[in-house]
């Protein structure tokens, strides 16, 4: 997945906004909660994408080739994975994990904030 594809996909998820921070990282948030971080290394390298996962997914993914516990986040006990090299995840799987990360982050917002963002029926 290229950076423009990552940004375009994250923009389709409900109530999201994009900021560039932390020395050029493309950060996507739902409300105030971060759900995805991507940092391009260069044109020829795979995009490094970091996202929140369930504890079960973390246990399965942390040792897969091309995936690792997210630097700085996982060391603090958070369940975040970084896709950083091939084979990692194919684009469809990465999109599915980004959607789940969005869902997990949104669930950590207050009910009031979820309602204000149109995330609750």
Domain containing residue 105: CATH number = 3.90.1150.30
28-75: per-residue pLDDT in tens? 999 999 999 999 877 777 799 999 999 999 999 999 999 999 998 877
- Can the peptide bond before residue 40 be classed as cis, meaning omega within 30 degrees of 0? no
Q: Interhelix angle for 3-12 vs 91-107, to 10°? A: 40
Q: Has residue 94 been placed in a domain?
A: yes
Question: To the nearest whole percent, how much of the chain has pLDDT over 90?
Answer: 82
Give the domain range for residue 58: 3-111
Q: Has residue 119 been placed in a domain?
A: no
pLDDT of residue 66: 96
pLDDT band at 88 (very low <50, low <70, confident <90, very high): very high
């Amino acid at each position: 997945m290229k950076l423009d594809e990552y940004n375009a996909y994250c923009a389709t998820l409900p109530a999201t906004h994009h900021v560039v921070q932390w020395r050029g990282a493309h950060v996507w948030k739902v409300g105030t909660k971060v759900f995805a971080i991507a940092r391009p290394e260069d044109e020829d390298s795979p995009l490094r994408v970091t996202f929140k996962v369930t504890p079960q997914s973390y246990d399965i993914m942390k040792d897969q080739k091309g995936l690792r516990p997210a630097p700085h986040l996982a060391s603090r006990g958070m369940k975040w994975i970084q896709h950083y090299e091939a084979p990692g995840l194919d684009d469809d799987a990465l999109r599915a994990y980004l959607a789940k990360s969005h869902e997990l982050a949104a669930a950590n917002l207050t009910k009031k904030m979820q309602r204000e963002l149109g995330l609750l029926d």
